[in-house]
Amino acid sequence: MRTIYESDSTPKADGYYMPAEFSKQKRVWMGWPHRTDTWAHGAKPAQAQYANVARAIAEFTPVYMCANQVDYANCKAVFEDDPGVHVIEMTTDDAWFRDTGATYVVDGKGGKRAVHWHFNGYGGFVDGLYFPWDKDEQIALKMAELSEVDRYRPDDMILEGGSITVDGEGTVVVTDQCLLSPGRTASAVRVEEDEDNIWPTFELAFKPWSDELREYMTEHLKAYLGVEKVIWVKEGIDPSETNGHIDDVATFIAPGVMACIWTDDPDYPFYRQCHEAYETLSNATDAKGRKLKVYKLPMPVEPVYMDQASCDSIDIDENAEPRVSDEPLIASYMNFLVTNGGIITPQYGDVNDALAIETLQKIYDETWGEGAYKVVGVQSEQVVFGGGNIHCITQQEPEA
């Protein structure tokens, strides 16, 4: 495997681009949850729901489930009767492969490569969620090796896969809240350091939220995703966990067509963010000059909270953020995975579960034709307890 550094080239310069999620996929990557300071009840309920998600995906696409050495035998036994799920040993810090895994790019001529972003635990020492993250920082490298593809490595760009959504035709949508935050690339691009400190103090080259940082990120997104236009949504709905990833808020259904979360309840915790994102996207045009058609996908009727017993079951660790029962969790139906004709969609036991399935099926039938996609619901509140959802725990690898 060859590593292509920023000084050597970029995907766009070499004719590569990130294909949309609705493009043909070779496999889907996942990681087995194990952290007892993240996952309730020793991670066993989360493992059961991860397994159900993997089985649902495997009906459409092969799954590579990556488990730590200590968990390998148990994980292998869980999937003993699931030929579509392949268990491999891989050391990880946590199990969010959307964010730690490689972003694959293709050239449309049979070529495929991997982009290995820098990862710092969702904010590093500014507002990160756990430490250390060095094993998660290596996941994309290992994926590239196992996929037998070359790897692109930017110099300073900190990015998670959940913070981007592309249409495969030159457009990417991101949020200010994540990409311009103090703990992402703003914390990585430095001017000078104090070599006497074990944790050096730096003068930032780019101030968070600045126009200069936005320009830097825009140009790097274009270079590493092979896009022509970046649409910036102001906020996500997850300021404390991921700093507002876009995959909880909106996604591309097809070129020129998006879905966005929605609620008519002004007292809903994310009412303002839903409406602001919908307005931004409804008034946007893509790289081809098309005005976006934006569907509304409902939120659950009742905000989801973690029960106190689950909070109490999580190990207390000074290097990880504690879980509390009085903050609404990021339970969005938008955090679904598209994979080879399947739409693997979160379910919470909420009144709107069936409506979300019905709405998504209608959206995909209208956009792609009846029967092109099948929407499958999978219970995922235990995944939400850990801070993410179905899209967050999966990373697709496209066909070349």
* Residues acting as catalytic residues: 392
Q: What's the rounded Cα separation, in Å, for the pair 78 and 74?
A: 6
Q: Peptide bond before 19: cis, by omega within 30 degrees of 0?
A: no
8 Å CB contact between 299 and 270: yes
Nearest by Cα to 336 from 398, 262, 393: 393
HSE-CB of 131 using CA atoms within 13 angstroms = 8
Query: Quick one: tokens of 343?
Result: 């739409």
DSSP 337-352: EEETTEEEEEE-S-TT
HSE-CB of 234 using CA atoms within 13 angstroms = 9
Q: What's the rounded Cα separation, in Å, for the pair 330 and 306?
A: 11
Query: Quick one: tokens of 156?
Result: 């300073």
Query: Quick one: tokens of 300?
Result: 């659950």
**What amino acid occupies position 368?**
W
Q: What's the rounded Cα separation, in Å, for the pair 126 and 106?
A: 34
- Spatial neighbors of 2 by CB under 8 A, at least 6 apart, are 150, 151
Q: What's the rounded Cα separation, in Å, for the pair 299 and 333?
A: 6
Helix 69-78 crosses helix 44-58 at what angle (to 10 degrees)?
50
| Rg from Cα positions in the chain | 20
